[in-house]
Amino acid sequence: MSQVVDSTVAPVPALRRAQLLLARQALEAILAAQRPADAILQELFRDNRQCGSRDRARIGDLVYGVLRDLRRLRAIAPQADAGALCALRLLDLGQAGAETLADWGIAAAPALAQQLAQFDPAHLSAAQRHNMPDDCYARLLAQYGEDEAAALAQALNGPAQVDLRVNRLKSYREGAQQRLAEEGVAAAPTPRSPLGLRLAGRTPLQNLASFREGWVEPQDEGSQLIALLLAAQPGETVVDYCAGAGGKTLALAAQMQDRGELLACDISQTRLERLSPRVQRAGLRCVKLLALPDEGEMARRAGRCDAVLIDAPCSATGTWRRNPELRLRDPDFAALQKLQLEILAAAAVLPRPGGRLVYATCSLMAAENEEVIGRFLSEHPEYERQDAGAILRAAGAAWDEPELRMLPQRHGTDGFYAVAMQRRAQ
C-alpha cells in the first residue's frame, strides 16, 4: 500500500537536478541504515510534498535501479558514494551526460564516465553479475544448479507484481474485482490462490475505497497460500506466533469467519501497534494482540491451541524483488537457523494433540527451510508432516506438491517455503 513507485518499469528519461539530489539523499540513508528502502522513500516524499507522482516515479526508479545493480556499479567505481552511484547509473543508461551531471553537483561524473567506458564486465564474478552476496549465490548454486540459480537470480532482479487478497468477510473475488474495475483498477484472479487478485499495474491503494473499507488487502499470492495451509476454522483457537505486519493474521481471521480466538504475537510492540488499524479496517473482532515474551500466557495455552503458524524470522532472500536493499546484508545463516529452531521449539508446545503447526519462511535457502524442519522433526517425534497439496486443494487452491515451495522464476511470486505438521494424538 506504499505510495512509493519502485524500479519495476522501464527507466524514466529526462531526470531533473532536483530529482537526482533527492535520489542521492534517499540512497545515502538506505546505504547507511538497516531500514527498508520504501520506508525511507516514503519519509523523503512526506518531507518534500512538492514531489508529484512523476517525480516520485523517477526518484524511485533511480534508487531501486542502483540497488538492483549495486555490486556491478561498485565494481566499476569502488569508491563511489551515493551521489556517484546515482550518476553512474544515469551514465550507464544514457539518461544524462557527464557534463550535465557535473553541473548538477556530481563533480566525479567525468571520471565515472571514463571508468564506465573502460570497464570490462568479464571481470565480474557470477555473484556480482547477479547482484548477490557471494555466500548466498554459492548456496543457490548448490541447491538448484547453475541454470536454475541463474534463472532465479534474474527473476529476483525483475519486477514484483501487486497481489491483493479479497476479504471474504466483506466480499468475494468476483465482487471485489468488479469494484476495483469501477475504481479504474484492472485486476485478474491469481492462478493458485482462490482469494487473490493480481493488479495490471501499481496503484496507490490508500486512494481506493475498496481498500479503505477492508474489501482487499495487499498480500503476495504465496503468502496467501501459507495462510491457507494452516486450515484455520471458525471457532478454533489459533496463534500467529510471529505476526509481524499482520498480513497472515488478517487472512487467518477471515478463514475463521471472525469466530473463535486468534492470537497475534510478536516481539515488537511497534509492529503490533501498526497491525491494530489493519484489524479495525478489516472489521475483525476475534484478533487479540500479544507482545512476546509472555511466558505466563504461553504456559496457559500450552496444549490447548488448534493451530499455530510460525512465519519465522529469516534472511528474507525470497523478497529481494521488493526489498533489494536486503542484498546489502550478508546473512548469518547459522544464527538464523538457531533462532528458527528455538522459535519452533517454543511454539511446538501450544498445539493440542491432533493440532496443527505450520512453519514458513520467505527464504530461498535450505539452511532455513529443509535443514530446520529436518532437525525439528528428528527432535520432536510427536509431530508428523502433512501433505500440503491435499490441504491447499481442500481450501480451493491449485497446488499439487506435498510441501509449499514458491519461487519467482517458476510461480511469479516472492520466494516462500512452508511445511504443515500435525501433533500426533496421544
Parse the chain into domains and list their residue ranges.
Answer: 17-124, 229-423
pLDDT value at position 5? 38
What are the cell numbers at 284? 475483525
Order of strands across the sheet that contains 216-218: 187-189, 196-199, 163-166, 216-218
Hey, which bits of 107-204 come out as E strands? Answer: 163-166, 187-189, 196-199
Residue 271, Cβ neighbours under 10 Å: how many?
A: 17
In the DSSP assignment, the letter for residue 395 is T
The vertex-368 CA angle with 70 and 322, nearest 5°, equals: 35
Helix, strand, coil percentages (3-state) for the chain, rounded to 5, are 50, 15, 35
Task: Name the stretches of the chain with pLDDT < 70.
Answer: 1-14
Q: What is the pLDDT of residue 143?
A: 95
SS3 label, residue 29? helix
Please report where in the chains the cell 543508461 appears, as a residue: 93
User: Taking a C-beta distance cutoff of 8 angstroms, is the pair 273, 266 a contact?
Assistant: no
- 19 within 8 A of 61, measured Cβ to Cβ: no
Interatomic CA distance for residues 353 and 383, integer angstroms? 9
- C-beta separation of 249 from 230 below 8 A: no
Find, among 82, 53, 52, 54, the residue nearest to 70 by Cα: 82
* Residue length of the chain: 426
Strands 287-291 and 261-266: parallel
Quote the pLDDT of residue 13.
47
Task: Give the per-residue pLDDT at 54.
Answer: 85
Q: Which pLDDT does position 14 carry in this prediction? A: 64
pLDDT confidence of residue 239 = 97
Phi/psi of residue 401, each to 5°? -85, 155
Domain topology for 229-423: Rossmann fold (3.40.50)
Under a CB-based contact definition with an 8 Å cutoff, are residues 313 and 339 in contact? yes
Nearby residues of 140 by Cβ (< 8 Å), 6 or more positions away: 132, 149, 152, 153, 364, 365
Active site residues: 362
The pLDDT assigned to 354 comes to 97
Q: How many CB atoms lie within 10 A of CB 93?
A: 14
**Contacts for 317-320: CB closer than 8 Å, 24+ residues apart:** 317/136, 317/362, 317/363, 317/364, 317/365, 317/415, 318/361, 318/362, 318/363, 318/364, 318/406, 318/408, 318/414, 318/415, 318/416, 318/417, 319/362, 319/414, 319/415, 320/156, 320/157
- Cβ neighbours of 324 (radius 10 Å): 25
What pTM did the predictor assign?
Answer: 0.91
Going from the C-alpha of 106 to that of each of 98, 110, 116, 130, the distances in angstroms are 9, 9, 15, 27
Compute the distance between CA of residue 192 and CA of residue 401 in angstroms, rounded to an integer: 12
Helices (H), 33-69: 37-47, 53-67
Which of 337, 330, 240 shows the shortest CA–CA distance to 284?
Answer: 240
What is the C-alpha separation between 402 and 384, in angstroms, rounded? Answer: 13
